[in-house]
């Protein structure tokens, strides 16, 4: 699928339900292909949030309901999740969500520009085996990449249910220095996501990081 970066997403069997398939027929009206498309859609909104790896979209939907004046961009590579998200968007009659169906790092492969007020990453693929750690999405290079596209005083919210990944994220953020830790969560999370619930049911602790871009 993608050549420039080592894939940060795991292989899936690609099964898509009939309703997801029907929803995907509407994909074009939600799609953004690049930052130019995004900026065009942003004209009507005061803020822009990006959720990377939205899975089935449950948090993205909640954020879009809670923040109607924000344009919410969801980035996901799997069609099944995109199909579920489109179904929920239509059911809730939401107009403030757009979808980027690709490796999010491709969206940022251009001149930096301060666009996002908030970036959310919930349960990035953990790649628990040490030999796979290089596939993890969040590392120093990735933090620099997203930093370049965040506005001054914008926020970064990350959660993971894998202790070892949490430790490496914490260390990368500490060394990176351009984000400062904030005490209280900057987003209202109505409920845990599917992967957070799975983590808890498998007795893993959820670590949450809330940071502010401060120059």
Ligand X SMILES: C[S@@+](CC[C@H](N)C(=O)[O-])C[C@H]1O[C@@H](n2cnc3c(N)ncnc32)[C@H](O)[C@@H]1O
Catalytic residues: 125
Interface with ligand X (CB under 6 A), residue from 38, 42, 71, 77? 77
**Shortest separation between residue 215's beta carbon and ligand X, angstroms:** 26
Interface with ligand X (CB under 6 A), residue from 32, 118, 119, 137? 137
Interface with ligand X (CB under 6 A), residue from 32, 193, 206, 213? 193
Piece of the chain touching ligand X by CB under 6 A; list 22-30, 82-90, 98-106, 179-187:
98-106
Rule CB under 6 A: is residue 101 a binding residue for ligand X?
Answer: no
Query: C-alpha distances in angstroms, 147 versus 112, 114, 143?
Result: 9, 9, 6
Using the minimum distance from each CB to ligand X, give the nearer residue, 44 or 167: 167
How many residues are listed for the chain in this entry? 215
Piece of the chain touching ligand X by CB under 6 A; list 70-78, 111-119, 166-174, 206-214:
70-78
Q: Compute the distance between CA of residue 89 and CA of residue 91 in angstroms, rounded to an integer.
A: 6
Q: List the interface residues with ligand X, window 9-38 (CB under 6 A).
A: 9
Rule CB under 6 A: is residue 158 a binding residue for ligand X?
Answer: no
Which helix (H) or strand (E) covers residue 138, if one does?
none
Q: Compute the distance between CA of residue 213 and CA of residue 178 in angstroms, rounded to an integer.
A: 6
Rule CB under 6 A: is residue 211 a binding residue for ligand X?
Answer: no
- Asked if residues 34 and 11 have their Cβ atoms less than 8 Å apart, the reply is no
**Shortest separation between residue 175's beta carbon and ligand X, angstroms:** 22
| Token reading at 32 | 């953004």
DSSP per residue over 35-75, as a string?
Answer: HHHHHHHHTT-SEEEEEES-TT-HHHHHHHHH-TTEEEEEE
Positions touching ligand X (CB under 6 A) are 8-9, 52-55, 75-78, 81, 103-105, 122-125, 137, 193-196
């Amino acid at each position: 699928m993608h050549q420039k970066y080592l894939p940060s997403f795991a292989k899936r069997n690609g099964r898509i339900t009939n309703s997801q398939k029907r929803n995907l027929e509407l994909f074009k009206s939600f799609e953004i292909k690049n930052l130019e498309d995004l900026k065009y859609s942003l004209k009507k909104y005061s803020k822009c949030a990006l959720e990377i790896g939205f899975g089935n979209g449950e948090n993205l939907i909640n954020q879009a309901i809670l923040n109607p004046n924000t344009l919410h961009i969801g980035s996901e590579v799997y069609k099944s999740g995109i199909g579920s998200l489109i179904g929920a968007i239509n059911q809730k009659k939401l107009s403030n969500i757009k979808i980027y169906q690709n490796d999010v790092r491709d969206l940022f492969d251009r001149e930096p520009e301060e666009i996002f007020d908030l970036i959310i990453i919930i349960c990035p693929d953990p790649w628990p085996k040490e030999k796979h750690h290089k596939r993890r999405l969040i590392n120093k290079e990735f933090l620099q990449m997203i930093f370049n596209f965040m506005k001054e005083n914008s926020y970064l919210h990350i959660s993971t249910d894998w202790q070892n990944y949490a430790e490496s994220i914490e260390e990368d953020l500490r060394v990176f220095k351009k984000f400062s830790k904030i005490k209280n969560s900057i987003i209202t999370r109505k409920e845990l996501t599917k992967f957070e619930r799975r983590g808890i049911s498998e007795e893993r602790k959820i670590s949450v990081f809330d940071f502010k871009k401060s120059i």
